[in-house]
Amino acid sequence: MSIITWMLLIPLITTVAIFISKNSDGMARVMAFIGSLITLILGIYACFQFDFTGVGYQLGQVNQWFPAFGVSFAVGLDGLSLPLFLLTALLVFLVVIFSWKTEERAPLYFSLLMILETGVLGVFSALDFFLFYIFWEIVLIPMFFIIGIWGGPRRSYASMKFLIYTHVASLIMLLAIGAMAFAASHLLGYFTFSMPEIMGAGFSTGFQLLVFPALLFAFCVKLPVIPVHTWLPDAHVEAPTGGSVLLAGILLKMGGYGLIRIAYMMNPQGAQAYTPLVIILALLSIVYGAYVALSQDDLKKMIAYSSISHMGFVLIGVASLTAPGIKGAIFQMVGHGLVSAMLFMGCGVIQHSCGTRLISKLSGLYSKMPKAMTLFVLAFFASMGLPGFVGFIGEFSVLMGVWQAFRYIAFLVALGMIIAVVYYLWSFQRIAFGETNPELGHIHDGSYYELVPMGILLILSIYFGLQPNGLMAVFDPIVGQILHLFGM
Amino acid sequence: MIDYFWLIPMPVLFTMILTLLFGKKLGLKSAYLGMLGTIASFCMSLSVLPDVIAGTVKQVEFTWFLNFKFGFMLDPLTITLLLLVSFLATFILLYANGYMHGEGGLMRFFAEVQLFTFSMLGVVIADNILQAFIFWEIMGLCSYLLIGFWFHKPSAAAAAKKAFLTTRVGDVFMLIGILILYTQTGSLQYHEIFAAAANMDPFWITAATLGLFGGVIGKSAQFPLHVWLPDAMEGPTPVSALIHAATMVKAGIYLMARFMPLLVLAPISQNFMVIIGLITALGTALMALTATDFKRVLAFSTLSQLGFMVVALGTLNMAGAILHLINHAFFKALLFLGAGCVIHVTGTNNIWEMGGVWKKDKVTAITVLIATISIAGIPPLSGFWSKDEILIGAAHANPIFCGILLLASFLTAFYMFRLYYVVFAGKPRTEKHGHACGKTMLIPLVVLSFFAAFSGLFSKPIARFITGETMAHGSNTVMMISIVVALLGFLLATVIYGWQKISAAKIANTFKGICTLLINRYYIDAAYNWFCNHIVVGLAKVADFFDKHVIDGIIHIVRDVTLLVSKAAKWVDIYIVDGIIRGICSGFVFGGSEIRKTSTGQLQQYLLLIAAAVTVMIALVWGGLL
């Protein structure tokens, strides 16, 4: 069995173990800790097994599943999926630590986290469309329950909106996948769901023009892109911290991953034809998203909109179809995964100590919770793309690609970077500086199980900010492959 | 040593990390720890100086990501700034040891000061623009943290935000400039860019230099992004000295000097720089006339002097710009540190609450006097030499430039001596008392005053060292006029504020409108505030409204319509689809119940019916119908 299969199985085994452990909170979290730790270690081990210069999928496993339909259990990783795969294992592990003191129905919470981990790992490693779609849908269910059970006051609204909105997108994706599979069977002469084989089928331009918009819509909902984004702020506001971290950290990346792997790589002519539309959507996300973030009073909502703005960089980076643009987009996904996780953890700490996340009610927190606020402000700087942090590399690289491909549009992209500074500094000034609001009562600093995961993420975002070459080099083969598909 | 020159900034980073680790225990002694780092950097710079003078230019580089390199270079310009920055930082740290006495958060303070210094050294030693930009931004981060050091004060928090944000606006232009350079030359290494410049389209050279200058406008606080610097004095005084003398604002001047080979090819950019420099030099000197806060006067004077340097760069007078950078660093550091002492002694920032400091603190009074004479441009003190160099360059380009600068330099002499008379002469105006300054605060003043006085005398060798050319002999006319102008400024200040022959209040009354304009800083700050509060935030609110009510509104309409359709379907389902089924069913039930009426249980009746049926059937058969 491939190491990937093991990584998909272990969280599920952990879930079973949690249920067998008779609903003990303590056992549940220890199980989840061990399960996610083993998965992470296996992931790191997989990295050592991985040939970073090799083209194509590695560490794979292909088994017949039901051959009558051409469905197989096929998994594998390449330079695009490996970083996201590893990011998933890391963030789930850190979320388990961060949620250590979850008291309400802890066994269920941790089991859902584990199922979610299997789902997302599956999405990033599946090489068969049937399998891919199953994992894609599995992800929705635990997140629906995490928001719906542990969420805030409007949780039922938010969880329903999340489920229905993204499910509609999934169905449209399913239609597009089905169409591609049937079209491929005509071209190949046999029926298959295998992603590499379908990619090699070579669809006609007319077909691509039809399929690409459907895929674009499906992945733009997930990314999300304005104007199909409103599920995200609501989901974030209501979700518990762990849910928010995973939502922003890895669930959004599924959209970016699908966009590159399926929409762009399988329909190159279609993608090129729709470039103007993609640019408009990306710019809307970057600039409009940043503006909306500026006027938010809820910290989480502000960060949710900043995520939308940052995902716009991913979209426009891919659309530029240049090496720095695509590399920057993938880098931005990884970087945003690290930084947004840190940001939402910071929000969680504030919520936990102050009982509110409303900027208008918070003030003078720096003197009360120096450790948490120091980490939080560094996360802000990392997120606004300050050099030395991971965000800069992605944004700079994307900007480089955009300049090469579209010239002056780079100014609008840069405008988003300025507004990011405005909303981050402004909100930080209001929450952290000045006199402490007496209504907040007793405020304590973050606990170690909250601060340690944030610290780990901070170290990683500084490391990849200063030493991006290792990660960038991982993308070389896949980006070469993409550019080759586009004839560049 | 020369092979390891790229280690020069590292001691500062090392002591910064040590400060982070042990700063809590060390407290004020962290200053000495920091000094160890800066002194080590200074000595290392000094040790490679002979090689550089002998003509060695060194460079090392490593791949960073994509095609971008991480590298270091050593040439005369670099080494000059390395020496200057590490030297000044050493004394500023020493001063901070006395100044920060009794403050909280010392570990944070000293670590940030060292990071600030380290990033300035990083900007200077980088051999490519991207790396310089990174340290440039980290410097911005440090300025944010240090200006907002007393963050519980809302004004400090606001000033910190303003500084970072304003400089960041400039940085975006700089980033675009960097992108242009990369797409046009395929490299970000200085030497490769300059090598490729000859084949570059002049349009892109102009665009790139203008973009870079955008960053300089932000960092070196030129009009219209100068607004952050006067507010930046909300930070502790050593930080002001660091920002104004050694780091931050000087980084911009350095960068443009570094890009001189490109600037030479871009006449439009040169003219633009001269115009911006002139506006800044004169406009801010005027503002200094009405300022009442000691440090704010100094801040305006920094803006004005930076304007001089930018004009020098715009007129391709690199020697003038760098010489003035060096001299300004000495006297401005001295002025700020002196200001800190005066504030310490008098317990106030307002110059009209000071007075008679001469008697209270002789050391400060004398050293600040030296700096004042120097900045006013009175020979033979240092400021005169470099200002003269700039004026000659400007006169060479266009006499009008020179005229405007002369006016600014007259104002400089005037407002600096005004400041000096008001603060040091006469008697204390209020009862406020501070406390005397310790030795660690006074030693830096004395050392710096030595340099502020004499650094100008080495102008020629330094200029030759940096530019590689012998300084041209300028016209004596310009020199004479500049001396006269400075002396006139001094004289006017003496008449008004020294001898008080002319009432300052009367003059202020006569030019009331202008004074109000100057006190309000031409309403530029107010306009920016209005723009941010109404336009930016307003747009954000509109966007938020749009998001909540239009985009989500559509989603909700879709939801409501779906629900409505489902209700209609339910109605159809209940009353029509099910209705038909039920209709059929009830038909059967009705039929059944009607038929059941015939089941009476009486055998006679059944027999009768059977007989009737049989009769009918027989009749039908006979009739041939069945």
| pLDDT tens for each residue of A334-383 | 999 999 999 999 999 999 888 888 998 888 888 888 889 989 989 999 99
Contact A294 B540 (CB under 8 A): yes
B22 or B435, which is more confident? Answer: B22
Contact B133 A387 (CB under 8 A): yes
Q: pLDDT, tens digit, for every residue of A286-324?
A: 999 998 998 889 999 999 999 999 999 999 999 999 999
Predicted local distance difference test score (pLDDT) of residue B472: 63
Mean pLDDT (chain B) is: 88
Cis peptide preceding B9, ω within 30 of 0:
no
Nearest to A433 among B65, B152, B172 (CB): B152
Q: pLDDT, tens digit, for every residue of B577-599?
A: 888 888 888 998 998 888 887 77
Residue A404 has pLDDT above 80, yes or no: yes
Percent of chain A with pLDDT over 90: 62
Predicted local distance difference test score (pLDDT) of residue B23: 81
Nearest-CA distance B138 → chain A (Å): 7
**B240: which residues sit within 8 A by CB, 6+ positions away?**
B232, B233, B295, B298, B299, B336
Contact B543 A288 (CB under 8 A): yes
**Dihedral, B121, B124, B130, B134 alpha carbons, nearest 10:** 30
- Enumerate the domain spans of chain A: 1-219, 274-488
Q: Count how many pairs of residues, chain A against chain B, have C-beta atoms within 8 Å.
A: 111
Contact A291 B137 (CB under 8 A): no
At B188, the pLDDT band (50, 70, 90 cuts) reads confident
Contact A433 B154 (CB under 8 A): yes
Predicted local distance difference test score (pLDDT) of residue A81: 93
Q: What is the mean pLDDT of residues B302-325?
A: 92
Contact B543 A291 (CB under 8 A): yes
| Cα A225 to Cα A239: distance, rounded to the nearest angstrom | 20
Contact B543 A292 (CB under 8 A): yes
Which of A160, A284, A288, A295 is the mutation pick for testing B, counting most B CBs within 10 A?
A: A295
Burial class (CB in 10 A: 0-12, 13-18, 19+), A182: exposed
Residue B471 has pLDDT above 70, yes or no: no
Residue B384 has pLDDT above 70, yes or no: yes
Which of B13, B66, B143 is the mutation pick for testing A, counting most A CBs within 10 A?
A: B66
Nearest-CA distance B163 → chain A (Å): 11
Contact B175 A432 (CB under 8 A): no
Residue A182 has pLDDT above 70, yes or no: yes
Residue B21 has, within 13 A of its CA and on its CB side, a CA count of 7
Q: Which residues of B touch A288 (CB under 8 A)?
A: 543
Contact A387 B544 (CB under 8 A): no
- β-pair partners for B61: B71
Nearest CA in chain A to B171: A418
Residue B546 has pLDDT above 70, yes or no: yes
Q: What is the mean pLDDT of residues A476-485?
A: 92
Contact A294 B168 (CB under 8 A): no
CB-based burial, B460-481: b 16+ in 10 Å, e otherwise? eebbebbbeeebeebeeebbeb
Q: pLDDT, tens digit, for every residue of A80-112?
A: 999 999 999 999 999 999 999 887 888 899 999
Nearest CA in chain A to B536: A291
Predicted local distance difference test score (pLDDT) of residue B474: 64
- Each as own residue / partner, the long-range contacts of residues A60-66 (CB below 8 Å, 24 or more positions apart, any chain) are A60/A2, A60/A4, A60/A127, A61/A1, A61/A2, A61/A4, A61/A5, A62/A127, A65/A128, A65/A130, A65/A131
Residue B351 has pLDDT above 90, yes or no: no
Tell me the C-alpha to C-alpha distance, in Å, between residue A2 and each of A75, A121, B283.
9, 14, 71
Nearest CA in chain A to B543: A292
Which of B175, B563, B566 is the mutation pick for testing A, counting most A CBs within 10 A?
A: B175
Nearest-CA distance A360 → chain B (Å): 15
Percent of chain B with pLDDT over 70: 98
Q: pLDDT, tens digit, for every residue of A45-62?
A: 999 989 888 888 888 889
Chain B residues 144-163 with CB within 8 Å of chain A: 144, 148, 151-152, 154, 156-158, 160-161
Chain B residues 536-565 with CB within 8 Å of chain A: 536-537, 539-541, 543-544, 547, 551-552, 555
Q: pLDDT, tens digit, for every residue of A11-21?
A: 999 999 988 88
| CB-based contact, A366 to chain B, within 8 Å | yes
Transcribe B308-338 into DSSP letters.
HHHHHHHTT-HHHHHHHHHHHHHHHHHHHHH
CA B502 to chain centre: 40
Contact A469 B536 (CB under 8 A): no
Nearest to A472 among B65, B148, B161 (CB): B65
Nearest-CA distance A304 → chain B (Å): 13
**Dihedral, B109, B115, B116, B120 alpha carbons, nearest 10:** 160
Chain B residues 182-211 with CB within 8 Å of chain A: 182-183
Query: Which of A226-230, A328-332, B475-479 has the lowest average pLDDT?
Result: B475-479
Contact A292 B64 (CB under 8 A): no
| Cα B467 to Cα B363: distance, rounded to the nearest angstrom | 37
Contact B482, B406 (CB under 8 A): yes
Residue B181 has pLDDT above 70, yes or no: yes
Contact B540 A411 (CB under 8 A): no
Nearest-CA distance B318 → chain A (Å): 29
Predicted local distance difference test score (pLDDT) of residue B609: 86
Nearest CA in chain B to A284: B543
Nearest-CA distance A219 → chain B (Å): 18
Contact B111, B23 (CB under 8 A): yes
Is the whole-model pTM more than 0.80?
yes
Predicted local distance difference test score (pLDDT) of residue A250: 93
Nearest to B66 among A327, A387, A415 (CB): A327
Grouping H, G, I as helix, E, B as strand and the rest as coil, residue B625 is coil
Which of A327, A469, A471, A474 is the mutation pick for testing B, counting most B CBs within 10 A?
A: A469
| Interface predicted TM-score of the whole assembly (ipTM), two decimals | 0.79
Nearest CA in chain B to A404: B183
Instruction: Single out the residue of B372, B411, B377 nearest to residue B391, CA to CA.
Output: B377
| CB-based contact, B17 to chain A, within 8 Å | no
Indicate the angle between helix axes B476-493 and B399-424, nearest 10 degrees.
Answer: 30
Predicted local distance difference test score (pLDDT) of residue B313: 93
Predicted local distance difference test score (pLDDT) of residue A25: 80
Q: Which residues of B touch A468 (CB under 8 A)?
A: 64-65
Nearest-CA distance A11 → chain B (Å): 35
Burial class (CB in 10 A: 0-12, 13-18, 19+), A346: buried
Residue B411 has pLDDT above 90, yes or no: yes
Residue B37 has pLDDT above 80, yes or no: yes
| Cα B138 to Cα A386: distance, rounded to the nearest angstrom | 7
Which of A381, A458, A459, A462 is the mutation pick for testing B, counting most B CBs within 10 A?
A: A381
User: How do B58-65 and B68-74 pair as beta strands?
Assistant: antiparallel
| Cα B114 to Cα B93: distance, rounded to the nearest angstrom | 9
Which of B65, B161, B535, B546 is the mutation pick for testing A, counting most A CBs within 10 A?
A: B65
Nearest-CA distance B554 → chain A (Å): 10
Predicted local distance difference test score (pLDDT) of residue B101: 84
| CB-based contact, A296 to chain B, within 8 Å | yes
Nearest-CA distance A150 → chain B (Å): 24
Contact A411 B176 (CB under 8 A): yes
Nearest to A472 among B66, B172, B543 (CB): B66
Which of B119, B181, B219, B544 is the mutation pick for testing A, counting most A CBs within 10 A?
A: B544
Contact A429 B158 (CB under 8 A): yes
Q: Which residues of A touch B141 (CB under 8 A)?
A: 381, 386
Mean pLDDT (chain A) is: 91
Predicted local distance difference test score (pLDDT) of residue B332: 92
Predicted local distance difference test score (pLDDT) of residue B208: 92
